Amino acid sequence: MSHLVTRITPQEFAPPAMIDRMRTRMLVVGAVFGVVTLALAFKGGGKLFLQAWLFAFMFWFGLSMGSLVLLMLQYTSGGNWGRIGRRIWEAAASNLWLMFLCWLPLLYGMWSNKLFVWTTMKPEELGVDKVKYYLNPTFFTVRGVLFFAVWGFLAWRLYQWSKKEEAGETAPAQFVGIQNLSGFGIVFYGMSLTFFVIDLVMSLYPQWWSTVFGMLFMVGQVLTAFCFTIWLLTRLAQIEPLSRMFKIDYLHDFGKLMFAFVILWAYLSFSQWLIIWNGNMLSEIRWYLMRLNHGWQYFGTLLIFVHFVFPFALLLSRNLKRNAPRIVAVAFLLLFMRLVDLFWQIAPNFYPGAPVPFGSSAQTGLSGFGWVDGALYVTTVIAMGGFWLFFFFLRLSKRSLLPVNDPGFVEMLEAKHG
């Protein structure tokens, strides 16, 4: 008996023309809002621009890093759940070079004493004398360059492997090396991101610390990547070539993972608050006191109910996770709340509304957050996002949308339960 074997080629899953159209639109969005951002920065001043830039950077950097760690997790686990999202994560992780360029203005803000208060404080003012060995401009710069170098190498190496796999130039035995590299990358991600977040966010208020802080950002980054993946997959699944093989099971899987990370974010956030509040030490609770008064408490309440309670209740439903418009709506809601969470983490350090070592001009609370401030925060995140999405779609348009030469690709296409 003879069997007919049909080989699936990368050309059968070539990117649709829609990706090129989206790329062009994003470039226009980035350029227009970039001009508006520069105009607002001229009116608001350099310090305000750097504060808004930090906020925008942490969101888009988080999407790049969340995609990189998901890519490494997929290579390490080898699960079918990640194969359909691999090209999206490869393209997103490839934007780390852009994030490095976006980090340079923050580096300038540190060296020019315009962003981080610790650059102008004496060690005794920080409360711990040995902090000076960590929070100093030279070590800050070295750490950042080193982290980006390793992250960039990981993204580049995984991308090169994927290109060789697509060209049929890899052997199954070579996959062990990629798995080992991904395992190392996940560990390095956890360690390096913790220090990177300490440098850019926690050090905005150097008298406060939390051992859970880095992990909170890791969970937020992965959650952002899942939400972005769900949105883009549902868009691409409506047209060729994904429309002929996309199954609702894929959407269901990503919905369950998104649900899990919503719970994990809430668990870590509550654990941090409970431990610090129980300790009742001034050096620890003042970070929360700043955010529970002077108008910032409304953002905290919003995070409790809209970042956790509401999505948790919705994502309990199996039917919702299998309904494309509804799961995308929840994903967009969570993406917006990720911005709110980052704003709540960052902005109160510049508008504390209480006597803290930021200078008399900062003793304003949310009431000092004027329309220029708000507009600059919004336009900056949109402008940076426009250019980030332009380069993302540019990279996505260069490859097949699915890893058709992956050994498990055919298995992924099979219907579940036979």
First and final C-alpha spacing in the chain: 24
For CA atoms 248, 252, 255, 257, the dihedral sign is: negative
Domain-located, residue 409: no
φ/ψ bin of 365: left (φ > 0), alpha (ψ from -120 to 50), beta (otherwise): left
Domain count, the chain: 1
Domain-located, residue 387: yes
Rounded to whole angstroms, the Cα distance separating 278 from 366 reads 27
- In eight-state DSSP terms, residue 168 is T
Rounded to whole angstroms, the Cα distance separating 58 from 189 reads 15
**Structure token digits, residue 239:** 């047209």
Q: What is the pLDDT of residue 132?
A: 75
Q: What is the pLDDT of residue 303?
A: 97
Identity of residue 192? S
Q: What is the pLDDT of residue 321?
A: 95
**DSSP character string of 272-302:** HHHHHHHHT-HHHHHHHHHHTSTTTHHHHHH
CB–CB of 383/34 below 8 Å? Answer: yes
How many CB atoms are located within 10 Å of the residue 210 CB?
16
Inter-CA distances, 107 with 112, 145, 180, Å: 9, 10, 33
Rounded to whole angstroms, the Cα distance separating 377 from 98 reads 19
| Residue 368, CB-side half-sphere exposure with 13 Å CA sphere | 17
Using the structure block, give the residue that is written with the tokens 């980054």. 221
The pTM assigned to this predicted structure is 0.94
Rg (alpha carbons) of the chain, rounded to whole number? 22
**Structure token digits, residue 23:** 């790329």
Domain-located, residue 416: no
Task: List all residues 6 or more positions away from 174 whose beta carbon is below 8 Å from its beta carbon.
Answer: none
Q: What is the pLDDT of residue 418?
A: 37
Domain-located, residue 412: no
Domain-located, residue 121: yes
Using the structure block, give the residue that is written with the tokens 């890093």. 65
Is 197 exposed, middle or buried (CB count within 10 Å of its CB: 0-12, 13-18, 19+)?
A: buried
Structure confidence by residue, pLDDT tens digits, 91-141: 999 999 999 999 999 999 999 999 998 988 876 666 666 677 888 899 999
Rounded to whole angstroms, the Cα distance separating 11 from 283 reads 59
**Structure token digits, residue 111:** 């060296």
Using the structure block, give the residue that is written with the tokens 């997929």. 74
The domain in which residue 334 lies consists of 12-400
For the chain, count helices (H), then strands (E): 16, 0
Rounded to whole angstroms, the Cα distance separating 158 from 155 reads 5
Residue length of the chain: 418
Is 129 exposed, middle or buried (CB count within 10 Å of its CB: 0-12, 13-18, 19+)?
A: exposed
**Structure token digits, residue 192:** 């390096």
**Structure token digits, residue 81:** 């759940």
Tens-digit pLDDT profile for the chain (418 aa)? Answer: 444 445 678 778 888 999 999 999 999 999 999 999 999 999 989 999 999 999 999 999 999 999 999 999 999 987 778 889 999 999 999 999 999 999 999 999 999 999 998 988 876 666 666 677 888 899 999 999 999 999 999 999 999 999 988 888 877 777 889 999 999 999 999 999 999 999 999 999 988 889 999 999 999 999 999 999 999 999 999 988 888 888 888 899 999 999 999 999 999 999 999 999 888 888 788 899 889 888 899 999 999 999 999 999 999 999 999 999 999 999 999 999 999 999 999 999 998 875 444 444 445 678 788 899 999 999 999 999 999 999 999 999 998 888 888 777 777 766 544 3
The verdict on whether omega for the bond into residue 241 sits within 30 degrees of 0, i.e. cis, is yes
Crossing angle of helices 137-166 and 46-77, rounded to 10° = 40
Q: What is the pLDDT of residue 3?
A: 43
Closest-CA residue to 247 (of 324, 316, 330): 324
Identity of residue 411? E
Domain-located, residue 78: yes
Domain-located, residue 410: no
CA dihedral 107, 113, 118, 121 (to 10 degrees): 150
Q: Strands, E, within 199-340: which ranges? A: none
Domain-located, residue 248: yes
